[in-house]
């Protein structure tokens, strides 16, 4: 068990070696199942290895719970989900940018936490909590998007509550809103098996809040400043300059051109990490 939690150089190196093997196997399986692109698989190995090396079983388990649940949900199909996913910025396999946007902040927090612990400084555990809450925010946003798409139902812009087509950037639904804290709490289950520093109920509450916050921040940015384009051929509103389905250059209709979905996801995980760090008491 010391290898799983110690922050001595020897323990970190041992976890890194084991992490490469395990993360490589998971990434290879995901690549063969067409859940990750080649670049996404490489980024997954990087994220998985560093998360286990620096964050131990706590952060590594949170990474796995987020990735597995998100992959399963993205493979589920309904007619409503197919309609909503037509405007997805990168339909299908996750690439390196998506992997790093969702997991990069968690890894950074784990690295800082390990360094703080190794130096004997206070608040090392708070950085680990921040890492898990960053993943909870990403999970909450993913669950909100996927389950909201699967269930269908009315979608409204978060800023005005005006009706909007399914899949609209900044759109929210009842099912998606309920799913967000559940998705965050699902990642919080990592705390049950990897940390006795925070009680199980506290883990669920904290990560549920992070999941809801991640989804809300994503929707707010999506409805206001995220770049949104419209395909001139089919009229679909999308979040990237090129509509892959129609193979057409889209027209910017609102938001900042440089602020894409990956950047929004990154900002949402930063908010989740800040929430976790601020509310953690250890």
Residue 109 lies in a domain: yes
Q: How many domains does the chain have?
A: 1
Residue 231 is assigned to a structural domain of this protein = no
Helices (H), 119-199: 124-151, 174-188, 190-194
Phi-psi region of 17 (alpha: psi -120 to 50; beta: other; left: phi over 0): alpha
Q: Per the domain annotation, does 246 fall within a domain?
A: no
In a domain, 243, yes or no: no
Asked if residue 247 is part of any domain, the answer here is no
| Centroid of chain to Cα 10 | 30
Q: DSSP string of 29-79?
A: HHHHTTSB-HHHHHHHHHHHHHHHHHHHHHHHHHHHHHHHHHHHHHH---H
pLDDT of residue 88: 58
Tokens (6 digits) for 75: 């493979």
Q: What is the pLDDT of residue 182?
A: 97
Helix (H) or strand (E) holding 243: strand 242-243
Residue pLDDT tens, the chain, 282 long: 344 567 788 889 999 999 999 999 999 999 998 889 999 999 999 999 999 999 999 999 999 999 999 989 888 766 555 555 555 555 567 899 999 999 999 999 999 999 999 888 888 899 999 999 999 999 999 999 999 888 877 888 898 898 887 777 888 999 999 999 999 999 999 988 765 667 888 899 999 999 999 999 999 999 999 998 888 888 877 888 888 778 888 899 888 988 999 999 999 999 999 999 999 875
Q: Does the CA dihedral 129-192-54-120 come out positive or negative?
A: positive
pLDDT for the residue numbered 228: 87
Residue 72 lies in a domain: yes
Helices 261-279 and 200-224: crossing angle in degrees, nearest 10, is 150
What's the domain range around 270?
2-225+258-279
Residue 148 domain-assigned (yes or no):
yes
């Amino acid at each position: 068990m010391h290898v799983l939690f110690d922050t001595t150089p020897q323990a970190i190196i041992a976890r890194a070696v084991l992490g490469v093997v395990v993360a490589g196997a998971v990434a290879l399986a995901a690549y063969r199942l067409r859940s990750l692109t080649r670049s996404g698989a490489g980024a997954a190995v990087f994220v998985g290895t560093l998360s286990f090396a620096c964050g131990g079983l706590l952060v590594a388990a949170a990474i796995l719970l987020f990735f597995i649940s998100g992959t399963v949900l993205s493979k589920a199909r309904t007619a409503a989900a197919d309609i909503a996913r037509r405007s997805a910025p990168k339909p299908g396999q996750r690439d390196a940018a998506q992997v790093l946007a969702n997991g990069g902040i968690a890894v950074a927090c784990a690295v800082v936490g390990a360094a703080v612990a190794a130096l004997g400084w206070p608040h090392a555990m708070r950085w680990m909590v921040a890492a898990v809450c960053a993943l909870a925010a990403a999970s909450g946003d993913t669950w909100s998007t996927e389950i909201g798409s699967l269930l269908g139902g009315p979608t409204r812009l978060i800023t005005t509550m005006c009706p909007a087509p399914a899949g609209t950037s900044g759109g929210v639904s009842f099912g998606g809103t309920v799913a967000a804290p559940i998705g965050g709490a699902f990642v919080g289950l990592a705390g049950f098996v990897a940390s006795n520093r925070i009680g199980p109920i506290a883990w669920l509450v904290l990560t549920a809040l992070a999941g809801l916050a991640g989804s809300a921040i994503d929707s707010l940015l999506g409805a206001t400043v995220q770049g949104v384009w419209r395909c001139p051929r089919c009229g679909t509103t999308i979040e990237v300059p090129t509509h892959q389905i129609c193979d057409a250059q889209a027209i910017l209709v609102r938001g900042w051109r440089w602020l894409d979905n990956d950047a929004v996801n990154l900002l949402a995980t930063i908010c989740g990490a800040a929430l976790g760090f601020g509310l953690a008491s250890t």
